[in-house]
Amino acid sequence: MFTITPVRAFADNYIWVLQQGTGALAVDPGEAAPLIAFLEHGGLALQGILITHHHADHCGGLAELLQRWPQARVYGPATISGVNQPVAEGGRIDWQGYQFEVLALPGHTLDHLAYYGHGQLFCGDTLFGAGCGRLFEGSPAQMLASLDKLAALPDTTRFYPAHEYTLSNLKFALAVEPDNDEIQLRQLLDQKQIAMGLPTLPTELGLEKTTNPFMRCSKPAVQQQASRQAGQALQDRLQVFTVLREWKNNFR
């Protein structure tokens, strides 16, 4: 089985690097330099790249990486410059005999994809630890449907988001559900991780279902708090999701 290592980029991005032997597959290289340093240090060749969406902090390193490894296969939305293996919902990727499936997850952007295989999911800016991506292009209904699609995967699926946002998301999660013990415990554990200089990621779907407010829109406690926020009684999941997402946009 391949190993998966986070390479830090910018202020809080992770470039996840899958490694098998001397070959590597990288996810969302927003900048090339830290990835090149990691690959050189390990004597690795970049065989492939997975791109989740068009934002520069996810694909900005492509040109430089392709100069260095021109034969690398770059999978992603067809409209992104540098993608030489365009993929969409239902597409399949083979890397060193490992298969990954492409999931379309519109919401954060309309072109957003995720890559799923071997119990691992590379989800870009759709789901974060205890949170979800902002809606830059898609509607709340699209994002909720995308999160529902992820929620249907096995609970043991490991999620690899592209940003370290977990602690600030947990603060919001506690504002939504102050009495949720699972969120309190997760905050303690993740504070320790960060204090030790370690990532809080990957996360597991099962944990997100108990601590991520955006995956809990049908829970009575979440509905009540969203209703308080909206000043009207909300029961519809989409209304609850919409209020939570708006609230989080302005939450400090």
Tell me which residues touch Zn ion (CB under 5 A).
55, 125
Nearest residue (beta carbon) to Zn ion: 55
Quote the strand ranges of 82-145, DSSP E. Answer: 85-86, 92-95, 98-104, 113-117, 120-124, 127-128, 131-132
- Residue 128's nearest CA partner among 163, 94, 89 is 163
In this structure, is the dihedral angle defined by the CA atoms of residues 15, 106, 244 and 176, taken in order, positive or negative?
negative
Residues 6+ apart with CB under 8 A from 247: 172, 226, 229
Longest dimension (CA), the chain: 59
Q: Give Cα 199 distance to the centre of its chain.
A: 14
